[in-house]
């Protein structure tokens, strides 16, 4: 099969941001024309939004259609080699690479080490770049962990990677996420909230406040404010009436950065400007309940900590 030996390249993109000009699940206007006009993933035909870094010697400078394996993300310009590969792909009959760390209903999360699964994560990044506008920043995937969101069809029991987030193994800024994407066919279902929830639950388990790499794109900021606001609302509505809660307390309870807590509270418009606690701000609970109702915010955390899989459970299932 004509696939790229991307592991031999000097550097591959680690995708840092969602598109700055994306709205309602599709881009307004791409800043660069895609070099792949159509991409086939399994049975899906998808229109790319941005160019990716597929090597010209294998894909060409502009390709009408690129075939991508839904199991391992290897790619080909030719239909027949792609069909032959997908029938025998070693990932077809096995779970996705990495370790299962979370499972709830039809969704699961696998943690994949970029150093251990270099070719897989490089091909995954190349595919994702078709839907992400990135800055001119390149890193080696070996310094990152990838968290794959997998949907398992209850009828066929087949799993499909539908998105992921990546994070640095060692972040001096305590970033718990570098790149996040839900692939277009599965967008606008609230699945990004699951990935964000996983990133914060991992921060909690590591015992440190975390947050996404900044600056965020316009769309990324909106998505995060929605997540931060929901988490804050769930916490504050369970606090006893008339109990003073500082921003620092909210931050420590949610494992979100204090500045992110303040940004979300201001966006929610639930602060009482005339009242201050600990040189900070106080929240009007009536406005908070109005915000929850107006935004149809769920009282349930998108990620249930009890559904994390311990290594012992994972071994037993294997």
Residue 318 tokens read as 């294997």
Which residue of the set 106, 168, 206, 213 is catalytic?
Answer: 213
Are 239 and 201 in contact by the 8 Å Cβ rule? The answer is no
**Cα dihedral 276, 282, 228, 207 in deg (nearest 10):** 70
User: How many other CB atoms are there within 10 angstroms of residue 247's CB atom?
Assistant: 18
Whether cis (ω within 30° of 0) applies to the bond prior to 215 is yes
User: Does residue 206 carry a catalytic annotation?
Assistant: no
C-alpha of 243 from chain center: 35
Helix residue ranges per DSSP H, the chain: 56-59, 79-88, 118-129, 191-206, 218-236, 247-254, 258-268, 285-294, 311-317
Where b means 16+ CB within 10 Å and e means fewer, 14-36 reads bbbbbbbebeeeebeeeeeebbb
Residue 237 tokens read as 């509505």
User: How many other CB atoms are there within 10 angstroms of residue 10's CB atom?
Assistant: 6
Cα angle, residue 49 at apex, residues 46 and 50 outer, rounded to 5°: 125
Phi, psi of 257 (to 5 degrees): -65, 140
Q: How many residues does the chain have?
A: 318
3-class secondary-structure state, position 148: strand
Residue 314 tokens read as 């994972």
- Write out the H or E segment, with its range, that includes residue 111: strand 107-113
Are 61 and 35 in contact by the 8 Å Cβ rule? The answer is yes
Give the residue numbers marked as catalytic: 213
């Amino acid at each position: 099969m004509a696939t790229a030996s991307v592991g031999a390249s000097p550097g591959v993109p680690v995708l840092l941001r969602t598109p700055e000009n994306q709205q309602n699940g599709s881009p307004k206007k791409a800043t660069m024309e895609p070099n792949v006009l159509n991409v086939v993933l399994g049975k899906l035909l998808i229109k790319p939004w941005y160019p990716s870094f597929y090597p010209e010697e294998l894909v060409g400078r502009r390709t009408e259609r690129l075939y991508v394996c839904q199991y391992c993300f290897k790619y080909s310009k030719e239909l027949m080699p792609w069909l032959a590969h997908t029938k025998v792909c070693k990932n077809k009959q096995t779970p996705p690479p990495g370790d299962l760390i979370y499972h709830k209903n039809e969704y699961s999360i696998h943690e994949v080490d970029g150093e251990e699964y270099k070719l897989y994560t490089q091909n995954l990044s190349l595919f994702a770049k078709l839907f992400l506008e990135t800055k001119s920043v390149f890193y080696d995937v070996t310094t990152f962990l990838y968290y794959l969101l997998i949907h398992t069809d209850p009828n066929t029991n087949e799993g499909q990677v539908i998105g992921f987030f990546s994070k640095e193994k060692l972040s001096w800024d305590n970033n718990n996420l570098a790149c996040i994407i839900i692939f277009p066919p599965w967008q606008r279902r609230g699945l990004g909230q699951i990935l964000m929830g996983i990133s914060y639950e991992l921060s909690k388990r590591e015992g440190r406040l975390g947050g996404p790499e900044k600056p965020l794109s316009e769309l990324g900021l909106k998505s995060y404010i929605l997540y931060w606001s929901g988490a804050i609302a769930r916490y504050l509505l369970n606090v006893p009436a008339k109990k003073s809660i500082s921003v620092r307390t909210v931050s420590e309870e949610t494992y979100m950065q204090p500045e992110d807590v303040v940004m979300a509270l201001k966006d929610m418009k639930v602060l009482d400007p005339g009242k201050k606690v600990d040189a900070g701000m106080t929240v009007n609970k009536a406005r908070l309940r109005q915000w929850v109702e107006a935004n149809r915010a769920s009282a349930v955390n998108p990620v249930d900590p009890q559904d994390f899989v311990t290594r012992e459970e994972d071994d037993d299932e294997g």
